[in-house]
Structure 1
Amino acid sequence: MSQEIKKVVLAFSGGLDTSVILKWLQQTYGCEVVTFTADLGQGEELEPARAKAELLGVKQIFIEDLREEFVRDYVMPMMRANALYEGQYLLGTSIARPLIAKKQIEIARLVGADAVSHGATGKGNDQVRFELGYYALAPDIKIIAPWREWDLTSREALIGFAEAHQIPVAKDKRGESPFSTDANMLHTSSEGKVLEDPWEEVPDYVYSRTVNPEDAPNTPQYITVDFERGDAVAVDGVGLSPANLLMKLNDLGRAHGIGRLDLVENRFVGMKSRGMYETPGGTIYAAAHRGIESITLDRGAAHLKDELMPRYAELVYNGFWFAPEREMLQAAIDYSQEKVTGTVRLKLYKGSVNVVGRKSPHSLYSSRIVTFEDDAGAYDQRDAKGFIKLNALRLRLLGQRDRS
């Protein structure tokens, strides 16, 4: 093995799993390990990851702040599509994986590595997402997925390995974790252990990014979100960068208990899983985007987008971000956003976000035509008779046939 793999780039968090993986790679493959830690706004101090890597003898350590790139180039394009997997999930974990994979491949080329490695298990979706990204960007890259190779099949085994190789294990990591989490700027996901019974309600202590809606303020808060060509650019009239805008919406969502989701979903690998997602800012963003589209998109374009959306969401969920079909859909979606500019007013209250106003210089809404009052000839109601009779023609023919 040592002759096949000389240098590997590991997606490294500094936690128990990836610390054990780092040492295991060094031992099993006799190779040099380069670590890459991405700052995607997960809210954790990243310097401990550097210190852990140094302790384990890593010479080349990469820690990159990807927050703006993450929101600008991944989250916002996905939001233009109104993407929801299985009608509910805002794809917070899924959308982060292609960016991590892209950066790993860039680093592998920079340092001359011949392999990349990740800490995803053999039961989940992330192994697929990472590896489809790797192969799309570097078709000949070697991939090492330790969870599919080693015999460390339990948390106790991981801790035992760590202790045997002088890898520090935090006290709070020694006990059996009640659930596992993954976080980035868009969301936090929790699954496993106490969440595995889909009949049992999610315990309140699992939530970390939102207040309990029952404890949220008793007075609603009204905000505005400005859009330009399908992307949010300002909150309450204050222009913000993509990452700062999402952070602002996250703060608002947290305070009002917005964005909690208890979901049983279908994993790409074939099993059902139950998870809890918190997406406070993303939930507000999605509602606002729908709101501005409602007055700026033509009916045909809007309905076609809704038909394309499940396919787009499935591609993101399954890891096909770099696939040509996702890029084709993105081109169509982005074209639809040329006139999606304006302002949406939203009401935030005890776990809910509702659009209560919208305006745009490109609005297709005409109060002159739609009014119930005198429209001064803007719409001739007599035209509706022929419209209805033509649309009813096939139904009448069917009815006549079936009565005979």
Structure 2
Amino acid sequence: MAKQKIVLAYSGGLDTSVILAWLKEKYDAEIITFTADIGQKDELDGLEEKALKTGASKVYIDDLREEFAKDFIFPMFQSGALYEGQYLLGTSIARPLIAKRMVEIARAEGAFAIAHGATGKGNDQVRFELTAAALAPELEVIAPWRLDEFREQFPGRAEMIAYAEKQGIKIQASASKPYSTDRNLLHISFESGILEDPWFDPSADSNKDMFVLSVAPEDAPDQAEYVELEFEQGNCVGINGDHMDPLTVMEKLNEIGGKHGIGRVDMVENRFVGMKSRGVYETPGGTILFTAHRKMESLTMDRDVMHLRDSLISKYASLVYNGFWFAPERLALQALVTESQKNVTGVVRLKLYKGNVIGAGVKSPVSLYNPNIATMEADPTQAYNQNDATGFIRLNALRLKVASGVEQNAGK
């Protein structure tokens, strides 16, 4: 009789390596590992061989970078999403893509369940499982870190390392990096370990080796660099005159931004599960793209459309952060966002200097800015009659005057 199959999200680290062996033993099942290439670079080296040696019956390592950039990063950036005013959602936006592909593999392989190594305290468990619920409610989800028997067997890393050694699993467990990282095309995050102390300063000279994608701003070039981003309907389609697809845009902006120390964020954020956590992020390309997109909108987007979209930024960001990418409300919001972007077309020029992204010009063939109307000089178009402002102000002041009169009478 054929064994049951489980698809495991696999990184090759200590946790998922132990989970692979543990699942195979506990469920007497075939474990199919899945690793998404979403821009981790050399972190993927040797993963297939390691997974097979650890007990996987089959290994998927899929290059999802183009899909990640085109169908996830770019639509999210059109919305202006920014979680709690700082976080560009680099980890959050990757999880629904990973889970989507896991579901596809599980169905193709006839698996009864998917499994992940997210802990019971984090956001990723929610993101993986809400995606699975939306796309494949028939699949079971196995979350070992939420199982009492797993936590009793592995109360700490020492027990996991001992188990790995017993199983013949090669693990590079070291104190040289006393924090956890997560890297993809949009960013790299750092959390846990020494970063759990919010007074710890990761920007200090002694901690410079922690960062991967960017130099420290004080070590960036003393000469500013100008960069031009071309937009079509809210998406960046070119840099410095060269037409590029979304993946190439992200790779190029990461390179340019990292050189100038752009995109570092250190914040204490509110997790969906209720606790606060400290995260340090590098998002060089995303920071440039976010700034350029906003400047492009300032020239081309209708005022009330912009204000309506802006009123929904917090909601959109929370939906992404909390794992509701495939929820109907996010899809509905995306339709509004897409409509709002139809005229966000033109070129933005930015100056990059020691961690700063500075606006240096914007132009568009569909610009809503008319210098003849905005000028402080005589308006040659006569489109705006300053005398009209008198009635405009009088009508807007009416309710304020009425309210003030009521308060004065009440105080007598």
Normalised TM-score (structure 1): 0.97
- Cα distance in 2 for partners of 1:209, 1:316 equals 23
Q: Secondary structure in 2 aligned to 1:44?
A: helix
- Cα distance in 2 for partners of 1:175, 1:252 equals 31
Task: Tell me the CA shift for residue 154 of structure 1.
Answer: 1.2
Q: Which residue of 1 aligns with 2:194?
A: 194
Q: Which residue of 1 aligns with 2:395?
A: 390
Of residues 320, 337, 342, the one that matches 1:316 is 320
Q: Secondary structure in 2 aligned to 1:22?
A: helix
Q: Which residue of 2 aligns with 1:185?
A: 185
Q: Secondary structure in 1 aligned to 2:46?
A: helix
More off after superposition, 73-82 vs 353-362: 353-362
- Cα distance in 2 for partners of 1:403, 1:26 equals 77
- Cα distance in 1 for partners of 2:43, 2:266 equals 28
Task: Note if 1:218 corresponds to 2:216.
Answer: no
More off after superposition, 353-362 vs 341-350: 353-362
- Cα distance in 2 for partners of 1:45, 1:299 equals 45
CA contact (8 A) 1:155 1:176 kept: no
Q: Which residue of 2 aligns with 1:260?
A: 264
Of residues 337, 353, 367, the one that matches 1:363 is 367
CA contact (8 A) 1:10 1:36 kept: yes
Task: Tell me the CA shift for residue 169 of structure 1.
Answer: 1.5
The aligned runs of 1:114-193 (5 Å cut-off) are 114-149=112-147, 150-151=150-151, 152-170=154-172, 173-175=173-175, 177-193=177-193
Q: Which residue of 2 aligns with 1:279?
A: 283
CA contact (8 A) 2:346 2:363 kept: yes
Distance 1:216 1:175, change over 3 A: closer
CA contact (8 A) 2:20 2:56 kept: no
Equivalent AA in structure 2 for residue 353 of structure 1:
V
Q: Which residue of 1 aligns with 2:46?
A: 48
Equivalent AA in structure 2 for residue 178 of structure 1:
P
- Cα distance in 1 for partners of 2:330, 2:107 equals 25
Q: Secondary structure in 2 aligned to 1:128?
A: helix
Task: Note if 1:345 corresponds to 2:343.
Answer: no
CA contact (8 A) 1:312 1:326 kept: yes
Equivalent AA in structure 2 for residue 370 of structure 1:
A
Q: Secondary structure in 1 aligned to 2:314?
A: helix
- Cα distance in 1 for partners of 2:109, 2:400 equals 68
- Cα distance in 2 for partners of 1:360, 1:128 equals 41
- Cα distance in 1 for partners of 2:235, 2:359 equals 17
Per-residue displacement from partner, 1:56-101 (whole Å, max 9, x unpaired)?
Answer: 2323211110000001000000000010011110000000000000
Q: Which residue of 2 aligns with 1:98?
A: 96
Task: Note if 1:70 corresponds to 2:75.
Answer: no
More off after superposition, 48-57 vs 301-310: 48-57
Identical positions, percent: 55
- Cα distance in 2 for partners of 1:153, 1:261 equals 32
More off after superposition, 11-20 vs 290-299: 11-20
Distance 1:349 1:177, change over 3 A: closer
Q: Which residue of 2 aligns with 1:111?
A: 109
Equivalent AA in structure 1 for residue 183 of structure 2:
A
Structure 1 unpaired stretches of 5+: none
Equivalent AA in structure 1 for residue 171 of structure 2:
V
Equivalent AA in structure 1 for residue 399 of structure 2:
R
- Cα distance in 2 for partners of 1:252, 1:328 equals 34
CA contact (8 A) 2:118 2:145 kept: yes
Q: Which residue of 2 aligns with 1:379?
A: 384
Distance 1:263 1:358, change over 3 A: same
Task: Tell me the CA shift for residue 177 of structure 1.
Answer: 4.2
Q: Which residue of 2 aligns with 1:13?
A: 11
Task: Tell me the CA shift for residue 223 of structure 1.
Answer: 0.6
Distance 1:105 1:358, change over 3 A: same
Q: Secondary structure in 1 aligned to 2:57?
A: coil
Normalised TM-score (structure 2): 0.95
CA contact (8 A) 1:12 1:36 kept: yes
CA contact (8 A) 1:259 1:283 kept: yes
Q: Which residue of 2 aligns with 1:28?
A: 26
- Cα distance in 2 for partners of 1:237, 1:214 equals 29
CA RMSD of aligned residues (A): 1.4
CA contact (8 A) 2:231 2:238 kept: yes
Aligned length: 400
Equivalent AA in structure 2 for residue 299 of structure 1:
R
Equivalent AA in structure 2 for residue 163 of structure 1:
E
Structure 2 unpaired stretches of 5+: none
